[in-house]
Each structure stands twice: as C-alpha cells, then as structure tokens.
Amino acid sequence: MKGKRIIFMGPPGGGKGTQAQRLEDTFGIKQLSTGDMLRAAVAAGTELGKQAKAVMDAGQLVSDDLMIGLISERVDQPDCANGFILDGFPRTIPQAEALESLMADKGMPLDAVIELRVPDELLVERITGRFACAKCGRGYHDTYQRPKVEGVCDACGSTEFKRRADDNAETVVSRLEAYHRQTAPVLAHFEKTGKVHVVDGTKDIDQVTADLVSILEKSTAAG
Ligand code: ADP
Ligand code: ADP
Ligand code: ZN
C-alpha cells in the first residue's frame, strides 16, 4: 500500500487539499501543495515569495521555471521517500512534461492521476467559505466543514484561523479561467498514461474520500 506517487488535478476549490490531507495518513505519503509552499514563501518574504505574490493576488499562474525548480527539490526530501500527492502541480503542459522527465530521472514511477471533477457553479461558494487553522493548516468551510467544537481546530486545538487573500469572488473568476485554459489540457496530456481516474467531487467529503481510497488501493505504477 505504501510508496504511492499521485497527481491530484481539479479546479480551485475542488477539494484537492481537503482530500490530500486525509490521504496522507491513509497511505503514509506526503501532501505537496505548491500553493501552500508559495504562501509560506510570501509570508517569509523570500525572493520567491516576492516574485509570486502579485501573480497569486491576480489569480494567475506563477512561472513554470520557478514551479519546476521548487518541486524538483522538494521530492528529494526524506519525507517524500514513501511517496507523495502532488496537490496543485502540474498546472501547465510544460510543468507536466518537466515532471514526467524528472520523475523518470529520479526513478520515481507515477501510480495515478486523479481528476476531482466539480462544476464551476459550485466553486465560488466553496472558495469564499474556505478557511484554515492558522497553526496546522487543517482546512474548513463556513457551511460544509465546520470544526467539531466551534472555534477550535479538530487537529491541533488551536483557536486561530486564517483566510487566503485570493479567496474572494473577483479573483476566483481569474483562477477558474486559468484552470480551464492552462490546466485542463494537462488532463488530456496524461490520458496516454492510462492512469487517469475521474472522481465525482460534488459528493460529500467522506464519500469522496471513500471513492479515492478504493481507486488508489487498486492503482500501481505497473498499471
Ligand atoms: P482545493 O485544494 O482543490 O482548492 P479545498 O480542499 O481547499 O480545495 O476545498 C475548498 C473548500 O471546499 C474548503 O473550504 C473545503 O472545506 C470545502 N470542501 C472540500 N470538499 C468538499 C465537498 N466534497 N463538499 C463540500 N465542501 C467541500
Ligand atoms: P487552489 O487549489 O485554490 O487553486 P492553490 O493553493 O493550489 O489554489 O494555488 C494558489 C495560487 O498559487 C494559484 O492561483 C497560483 O497563482 C499559484 N500556484 C500554485 N501552484 C502553481 C503551479 N503549479 N503553477 C503556477 N502557479 C501556481
Ligand atoms: Zn490546527
């Protein structure tokens, strides 16, 4: 069951982060969210963060060169030795091609590409209601996923929460446009691997997790 390498595709607000956090424990593999990495760089004020901030606030995509460099270094870290779930990468065809070649070079075969499919009309509400624990990053939603105890993080007990600067109704429009124009073609690109699975992301959160676990238990790099 261990050693899985999975790519999570899906629109902004589709549920990638929520599901990836759950699969980390189930399969003992690391969630690699390029959005989280970029937000950490912005908060830390690094050179990468300075370059990424305005692009993210506009709902556009950070350059392929920066993103490919970031992921290439990240998968070499020891916490990825058992495998990883890529959440938010690749988002363009050049990123997909670079990923395939770097995984081949590093001897890291791909097990599955998952498309979490959710229609646009559900995404604005998902995104504008999203918040997360300020301490551990656990994701929540104003309507669909409130903490079990009001105001207290289920995972770590923290009472501080945060919302993303780009989770507003205006930026969502640009992000959805970027998804359809630049990221959706990546799914067609992966079709030839025979490893793409489409999951209905409109079901409730527990049902989506159950569907994912059942697919991933069966999928292996061998086919
Ligand atoms: P992504 O990482 O794909 O951008 P998230 O996992 O952050 O998406 O989910 C976006 C918001 O929608 C979050 O607030 C999350 O709690 C909520 N959410 C995730 N999956 C579902 C679902 N199946 N049904 C309803 N709300 C969901
Ligand atoms: P969501 O899942 O809601 O779309 P993310 O947290 O994955 O949001 O990404 C937030 C922002 O970070 C994106 O709108 C984009 O500006 C930037 N970003 C994240 N991943 C990538 C990537 N692979 N390529 C280019 N930009 C990225
Ligand atoms: Zn927490």
Domain boundaries, the chain: 4-119+171-218
For the entire predicted model, the pTM comes to 0.95
Q: Output the pLDDT for position 3.
A: 73
Asked if residue 13 belongs to a known ligand binding site, the reply is yes
Tell me the CA distances in angstroms from 150 to 5, 68, 135, 160, 174, one per residue in order.
Answer: 35, 39, 16, 12, 33
Mean pLDDT of the chain: 95
User: Which atom in ligand 1 lies closest to the alpha carbon of residue 141?
Assistant: 14
Tell me whether strands 130-133 and 161-162 are parallel, antiparallel or unpaired.
antiparallel
Asked if residue 89 belongs to a known ligand binding site, the reply is yes
Q: Output the pLDDT for position 1.
A: 41
- Phi and psi (nearest 5°) for 52? -85, -30
| Chain mean position to CA 76 | 18
The catalytic site residues sit at: 16, 91, 130, 164, 175
Q: Which residues of the chain have pLDDT under 50?
A: 1, 223
Strand ranges for the chain from DSSP E: 5-9, 30-33, 84-87, 112-117, 130-133, 139-141, 161-162, 196-200
Question: What CATH architecture is 4-119+171-218?
Answer: 3-Layer(aba) Sandwich (3.40)
Could you tell me if the CB of 83 is within 6 A of ligand 2? Answer: no
Ligand showing the shortest atom-to-Cα distance for residue 153: 3
Q: Are 147 and 134 in contact (CB under 8 A)?
A: no
